[in-house]
Structure 1
Amino acid sequence: IRSQARIIHWVNRLFSHVFPARANTSRGAVPYADSDPFKPPLDGPAVSIDVFEGESGRLLEAEQVANKVLEARALNPTAGIAVLVRGRGHL
C-alpha cells in the first residue's frame, strides 16, 4: 500500500535531503514538504532497492520485477499493483 506509514516516512527522509531548503524561483527550485501517511505501517520492509547494471542487468531486472509481482499477488490476489518505469521504452 503506497500510502502506508513506512513508505511515507522513507520518502520524507530521502527527499528532505535531495530538495533545496529554500525556494529559488530563478532556478525553479522548490523545497520538499513532508507528506503524512494515510495508512498505518505494515509488517516487514516497506522499500527495497535492487541495482542492475549493463545489458545483462536488464533481463535480471525484468525477472526480479516479475517475481515481486507474483509474490505480491500470492499475498493478496485482489490488491492493485503498479510498476513505475521511466517511459514506455523501459517496459
Structure 2
Amino acid sequence: MPRNKHPKKDIEDALQYAELQGWVIEVGGSHAWGRMYCPYNNKSCRCGEFCIASIWSTPKSPTNHARQIKRVVDNCTALKNANFEV
C-alpha cells in the first residue's frame, strides 16, 4: 500500500529521493508527520541512532527541512560504505 504524500512539495520530493536510496518512510507518530529509517540499520553509523530521522508536518521552512532530509540520506556512512563495496 503506498504511503500518504507529504503536504509540502519540497519535503515530498526529498522523501521520494530517500525512498530511491532505499530508506523506509513510516507515516504517523506522536509529534512528527513520520519517520524515515536507513535500510542498513548499522550500529557503526555516524548518527548513533541507527539512522532514524523525524519528518515534520509543518516546519518553519519546508525548503530547509527538505535539504536536511537529503543531507541525512547523502551523509549516511552505511550507505556510502555499501556503495564502495559493490
Same fold (TM over 0.5): no
Q: Which has the higher strand share?
A: 2
Larger Rg computed on CA atoms: 1
User: Which structure has the higher relative contact order (CA within 8 Å, separation 6+)?
Assistant: 2
